[in-house]
Structure formats: structure tokens, C-alpha cells
């Protein structure tokens, strides 16, 4: 679909930022999202300069009845930051992060990535819980929950969100915080992009680093079951601040391996003492756990998750890394067709786990997030790589806690899985959706149906 020149001209009168249409030579690059399996062709990509531009784009989409997608860092695995034949609000030109050192807060525009955010905040020795891969967008991650290395000490990303500026479906601009539009603020913290377009996020910051204890140990895959068993026991006794994740992967030398990655953002001496059992267990083939800049920790997983690959992911939560979970994971990973794929167990712990499941819209406050991440680079190999993730997931299902992270829902997952993602908060979210977006303008997300539309 293409919009007429007259329609485009009308839009340009209200939207000062860049506008990219299918005839623009930048179009193919501009429409690309992180997951290369997503190949959508929007009618218009609007790159707002400010909140007024966002209001204009929202009104324009509503008036024309066009699908409207909102894109921060474009990392949505389901490709929710783009659409066919509609409008994409792309925050590529709104990436500023401002730190207020006296208030210990940072206000960030929605196009910022975690690497932008961390760079600005670490310049002042500050940080907040963010994604574990630097080029992930702050916007989508925050609106879905946000687990990361600092969650044990400071809570999830949503727990550190203090306020957001939002453009509603009417185009009206409001502020959401505990003091203003508190219901909307609650819904934003886990309810994804269902309620409006966020034009700025204000976060609480904490003293972090510059050095923390971080890094990982790697063991041969033949030891995976015993390493996972050790990991499960170790985590039961670990203090809040210590966040360690378990990964099954293929090492750069082509051998399958398993690793434990850690972060302890506290006293370095105490951290060294706490991670000693991880370093001493078994005979790791690689041990790079030790003091390192927080920024290096935040960059550690980047190479394992490069952009522009084909991706098919499945996710769940488990209460613990039980023998059954270990058996499924190890057997499934032994059959993985692509050396780029991995399985990651990331705990929800410490401060993050002590927030009540209904205190924010993000409900999954215990156990481990299980990511079954199928990555490959050849479209001819789609079938076996998708089948691998589906099969591993199907076999994991009898052992899961129930629940899925809204930010890791796949494109092919239906309303039943969306309901599971919001869990006990679904009904309150649906009531708020009915109030804030009764016509479901913001539907290109893990969609909560307003009551009127059901
Ligand atoms: C490599 C990789 C690593 C990851 N690591 C982590 C991790 O460590 N922790 C974690 O919690 N998650 C992680 N995730 C999942 C991540 O939270 C989601 O992919 C999230 O959607 C990324 O946000 P984004 O802004 O980049 O995505 P986008 O694709 O830009 O946006 C995703 C969706 O968010 C909504 N949205 C985006 N911007 C706005 C806005 N301004 N206003 C309203 N709605 C908006 C829209 O519904 C949009 O469709 C990771 C994902 C990847 C691909």
C-alpha cells in the first residue's frame, strides 16, 4: 500500500521529524528490525523529533485507520516494532539520556539503547537494572519488565521506573507516575505498548561500579548436567546481590559448552569470596570471573546475540533447575542444529523477587526465566531450527512454573499465551485498556483486548 502525495504532505505539515516511505532509498535499511526472520513493509516510517511529532503520528494513524507500530530498539523477537502497510513510529532520532546526579535519576528518550543509557549513567558511577545485551532498546524492555544483572540488588527495570511521558490513543499527552495517572503507570510497568506511546522514561539510579565482579566460567558440554546441578544448589544459598545465569551454548571453537555467568555489583572483596565456589567447581576450560567494569559486563553477551540473524525463540519460567529440567535441557541442546543457538536460565531473584506479582503489571517474580534461543543464518535452514526450539519447549513444558515473559512471546503465540504472560494482572489490564485505548489502536504488541472489542 502507498499513501498519496497529498496525504503525505498533510502528515508532513504536522510531523517535523524525518519521514521514510517505500520510494526512499533508505527504506530497506529503515524497515529492518533485529530479528531477520521478520520482513515487513510499512507504508510510512515516521521518525519523530519530539512528543508533538508522536501525537501527530498517532492522530494520523487513527484518522486513516492504519495499523500503528511503535519501535524503540527494534529487538522485539516477534517483530512487534514494525508492520505491513501501516505506520511505524521509529524512535531512531530520539535517543538522549540525561542524568540528574543530585536526584539520582536518568530521563531517557525511547530510542536509547542500554549501551547509551549505561554510558551516560556510568560516567557518574550510576546505573539501574537494564538488559544484558547493550543494543537492546530501553523502551520495549522497560515496558515488558526488564530482568538484568542488577535486579537482585535493585529490582527489575520496571521497579526502577519513576515516571513516563505518554501519548495516548487520542493524541493527548499525559504524565504517568505514582502521583499522576497512577493506574496508567501501573499498567505501563509490564503491560507493554498497550496503553500509549512513551516519549520519555525517568529511572531511579544507584551507585554501581565502575568495577563489579563479573564474567563467566565455561565447562565442556559433557559436564553440563553436573554443572547445572551445582548451579541450582549454589543459587539457593547465594545472597540477593549475586545474579548468576546458566547458559548452554557452542563455543567459538565449535564445541558445545555450558557456562555460568555472574554479576555481583557490591564490595569487590566480598564478591570474590562469594564467587569462589563457582570458580572452584569442576575443571572449567575458561574462567574470566573477576573484577571488571560494569560496562564490560553489559557488553559480555553482545557477541552471542548479534543482529540480522534469523531467530525463533521460546520462553518459559521454571521454579528451579530441577533434575527433570536439566535432563530435558541437556538432551535438547545436544541436538541443536545451529552453533549460534543457546539456552539461557536467568533467575528472578533478590529485590526483584520480593515485589508482589500484582504491584506492577509484570507478575513473574520468582524462579528462572528459560530462554530457548534458536539463531541461524540461512533461510534454507528455517525448518530444522524452528523445529528444534519448538521441540525443546514442548519437552520442557511438563516441568515449567506457568507463565511467559511478555517480551519473549513469539509471533506465532496466541491469546492463551498472552493471557499467561500477564497472569493475575490480565483483568485489571483489560479494564485499563478499555479506559485508555477502547478502540485498540495500540494492538501491535502482546495485545490486551479492551472489553468493548471482545
Ligand atoms: C539480544 C536480546 C537480548 C535481550 N536481553 C534481555 C534482557 O537481558 N532482559 C530482558 O528483560 N529482556 C531482554 N530481551 C527482550 C527484550 O526485552 C525485548 O526484545 C524488548 O521488546 C526490546 O525492546 P526494544 O525497544 O528493543 O524493542 P522494539 O521492537 O523496538 O519494541 C518492542 C515493543 O515494545 C513496545 N514499544 C517500544 N517502544 C515503545 C514506546 N516508546 N512506547 C510504547 N511502546 C513501545 C511496542 O509494543 C513494540 O512493539 C532481549 C532481547 C534480545 C533480542
Helix axes 415-422, 426-436, angle to 10 degrees: 100
Helix axes 323-334, 382-396, angle to 10 degrees: 170
CA distances from residue 382 to 12, 337, 452 in whole angstroms, order as listed: 40, 10, 39
Closest atom of ligand 1 to 157 CA is 11
pLDDT tens for 159-178 read 999 999 999 999 999 999 99
CA distances from residue 317 to 130, 293, 364 in whole angstroms, order as listed: 19, 30, 8
For the chain, what percent of residues have pLDDT higher than 90? Answer: 97
Task: Let me know: does 72 contact 111? Beta carbons within 8 Å.
Answer: yes
Alpha helix segments (H runs only) across 193-337: 224-237, 268-280, 294-299, 323-334
pLDDT tens for 80-114 read 999 999 999 999 999 999 999 999 999 999 999 99
Contacts 24+ apart (CB under 8 A), 5-11: 7/64, 8/44, 11/44, 11/46, 11/56, 11/57, 11/60
Dihedrals φ, ψ of 216, to 5°? -150, 160
What is the end-to-end Cα distance of the chain in Å, rounded? 28
Closest CA to 105 of 200, 185, 206: 206
Return the pLDDT at 390.
97
Return the pLDDT at 454.
46
Task: Let me know: does 371 contact 343? Beta carbons within 8 Å.
Answer: yes
Task: Let me know: does 52 contact 93? Beta carbons within 8 Å.
Answer: no
Pocket of ligand 1 (CB under 6 A): 34, 69-77, 80-81, 91, 110, 131-133, 136-137, 139-141, 143-148, 192-193, 197-198, 305, 407-408, 444-445
Residues 6+ apart with CB under 8 A from 303: none
Closest CA to 143 of 46, 245, 94, 72: 72
pTM as predicted: 0.97
Closest atom of ligand 1 to 405 CA is 11
For residue 2, name the pLDDT band (cuts at 50, 70, 90): confident
pLDDT tens for 373-405 read 999 999 999 999 999 999 999 999 999 998 999
- Residue with the smallest CA separation from ligand 1 atom 45 is 193
Could you tell me the distance, in angstroms and rounded to a whole number, from the CA of residue 408 to the centre of ligand 1?
A: 9
Could you tell me the distance, in angstroms and rounded to a whole number, from the CA of residue 323 to the centre of ligand 1?
A: 32
Could you tell me the distance, in angstroms and rounded to a whole number, from the CA of residue 43 to the centre of ligand 1?
A: 22
Could you tell me the distance, in angstroms and rounded to a whole number, from the CA of residue 142 to the centre of ligand 1?
A: 7
Task: Let me know: does 38 contact 71? Beta carbons within 8 Å.
Answer: no
Closest atom of ligand 1 to 147 CA is 11
Rounded CA separation 152/155 (Å): 6
Return the pLDDT at 452.
66
Would you tell me how many other CB atoms lie within 10 Å of the CB of residue 373? 24
Greatest alpha-carbon pair distance for the chain in Å reads 69
- For 1-13, b/e burial (b = at least 16 CB within 10 A) is eebeeeeeeebee
Please state the rounded mean pLDDT for residues 101-130. 98
Closest CA to 48 of 27, 20, 25: 20
Residues 6+ apart with CB under 8 A from 378: 310
Return the pLDDT at 127.
98
Reply yes or no on whether the pLDDT at 453 is more than 60: no
pLDDT tens for 263-320 read 999 999 999 999 999 999 999 999 999 999 999 999 998 888 999 999 999 999 999 9
Rounded CA separation 326/262 (Å): 19
Closest atom of ligand 1 to 35 CA is 53
Closest atom of ligand 1 to 445 CA is 47
Q: How far is CA 281 from the centre of its chain?
A: 31
The preferred substitution site among 47, 61, 76 for testing ligand 1, maximizing ligand atoms within 8 Å of CB, is 76
- Residue with the smallest CA separation from ligand 1 atom 44 is 193
- Residue with the smallest CA separation from ligand 1 atom 7 is 131
- Residue with the smallest CA separation from ligand 1 atom 33 is 140
Could you tell me the distance, in angstroms and rounded to a whole number, from the CA of residue 73 to the centre of ligand 1?
A: 7
Task: Let me know: does 100 contact 107? Beta carbons within 8 Å.
Answer: yes
pLDDT tens for 233-272 read 999 999 999 999 999 999 999 999 999 999 999 999 999 9
Residues 6+ apart with CB under 8 A from 56: 11, 14, 15, 48, 171
Could you tell me the distance, in angstroms and rounded to a whole number, from the CA of residue 237 to the centre of ligand 1?
A: 32
Mean pLDDT, rounded, of the chain: 96
Rounded CA separation 57/171 (Å): 8
Could you tell me the distance, in angstroms and rounded to a whole number, from the CA of residue 225 to the centre of ligand 1?
A: 32
Closest atom of ligand 1 to 73 CA is 26
- In the sheet with 87-90, reading across from the earlier edge strand, the strands are 18-20, 44-47, 87-90, 68-71
Return the pLDDT at 303.
84
Task: Let me know: does 130 contact 118? Beta carbons within 8 Å.
Answer: yes
- Residue with the smallest CA separation from ligand 1 atom 34 is 140
Return the pLDDT at 407.
97
Could you tell me the distance, in angstroms and rounded to a whole number, from the CA of residue 400 to the centre of ligand 1?
A: 24
The preferred substitution site among 131, 244, 249 for testing ligand 1, maximizing ligand atoms within 8 Å of CB, is 131
| Beta strand segments in 111-205, E | 126-127, 161-167, 173-177, 197-204
- Residue with the smallest CA separation from ligand 1 atom 16 is 141
Burial class, 285, CB count within 10 angstroms (exposed 0-12 / middle 13-18 / buried 19+): middle
Amino acid at each position: 500500500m502507498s499513501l498519496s502525495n497529498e496525504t503525505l504532505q498533510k502528515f508532513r505539515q504536522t510531523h517535523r521529524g524525518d519521514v521514510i516511505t517505500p520510494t526512499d532509498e533508505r527504506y530497506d535499511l529503515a524497515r529492518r528490525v533485529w530479528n531477520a526472520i521478520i520482513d515487513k513493509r510499512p507504508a510510512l516510517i515516521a521518525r519523530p523529533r519530539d512528543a508533538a511529532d508522536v501525537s501527530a503520528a498517532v492522530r494520523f494513524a487513527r484518522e486513516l485507520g492504519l495499523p500503528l507500530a511503535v519501535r524503540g530498539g527494534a529487538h522485539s523477537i516477534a517483530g512487534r516494532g514494525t508492520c505491513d502497510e501501516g505506520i511505524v513510529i521509529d524512535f531512531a532520532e530520539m535517543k538522549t539520556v540525561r542524568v540528574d546526579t543530585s536526584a539520582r535519576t536518568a530521563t531517557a528518550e525511547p530510542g536509547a539503547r542500554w549501551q547509551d543509557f549505561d554510558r551516560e549513567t556510568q560516567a557518574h558511577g550510576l546505573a539501574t537494572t537494564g538488559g544484558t545485551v547493550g543494543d537492546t532498546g530501553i523502551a520495549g524492555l522497560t515496558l515488558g519488565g526488564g530482568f538484568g544483572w542488577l535486579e537482585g540488588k535493585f529490582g527489575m527495570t520496571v521497579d526502577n521506573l519513576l515516571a513516563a511521558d505518554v501519548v495516548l490513543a487520542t493524541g493527548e499527552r499525559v504524565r504517568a507516575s505514582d502521583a499522576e495517572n497512577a493506574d496508567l503507570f501501573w499498567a505501563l510497568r509490564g503491560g507493554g505498548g498497550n496503553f500509549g506511546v512513551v516519549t520519555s522514561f525517568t529511572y531511579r539510579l544507584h551507585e554501581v561500579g565502575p568495577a563489579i565482579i563479573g564474567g563467566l566460567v565455561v565447562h565442556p558440554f559433557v559436564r553440563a548436567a553436573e554443572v547445572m546441578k551445582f548451579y541450582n544448589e549454589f543459587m539457593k544459598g547465594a545472597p540477593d546481590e549475586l545474579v548468576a545465569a546458566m547458559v548452554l551454548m557452542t563455543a567459538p571453537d565449535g564445541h558445545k559448552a555450558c557456562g555460568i555467568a555472574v554479576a555481583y555489583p557490591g564490595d569487590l572483596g566480598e564478591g570474590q569470596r562469594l564467587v569462589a565456589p563457582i570458580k572452584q567447581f569442576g575443571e572449567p576450560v575458561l574462567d574470566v570471573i573477576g573484577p571488571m567494569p560494569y560496562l564490560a559486563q553489559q557488553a559480555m553477551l553482545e557477541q552471542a546475540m548479534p543482529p540480522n540473524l534469523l531467530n525463533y525463540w521460546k520462553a518459559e519460567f521454571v521454579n528451579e533447575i530441577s533434575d527433570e529440567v536439566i535432563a530435558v535441557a541437556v538432551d535438547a541442546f545436544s541436538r541443536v542444529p545451529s552453533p549460534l543457538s543457546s539456552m539461557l536460565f536467568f533467575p528472578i531473584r533478590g529485590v526483584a523477587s520480593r515485589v508482589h506479582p500484582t504491584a506492577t503489571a509484570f507478575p513473574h517474580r520468582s524462579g528462572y526465566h528459560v530462554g530457548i534461543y534458536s539463531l541461524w543464518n540461512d533461510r534454507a535452514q528455517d525448518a530444522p531450527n524452528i523445529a528444534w526450539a519448538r521441540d525443546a519447549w514442548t519437552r520442557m513444558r511438563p516441568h515449567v512454573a506457568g507463565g511467559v515473559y511478555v517480551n519473549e512471546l513469539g509471533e506465532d503465540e496466541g491469546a492463551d499465551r498472552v493471557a499467561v504472560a500477564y497472569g493475575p494482572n490480565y483483568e485489571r489490564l483489560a479494564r485499563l485498556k478499555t479506559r485508555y485505548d477502547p478502540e485498540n489502536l495500540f494492538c501491535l504488541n502482546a495485545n490486551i483486548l479492551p472489553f468493548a472489542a471482545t
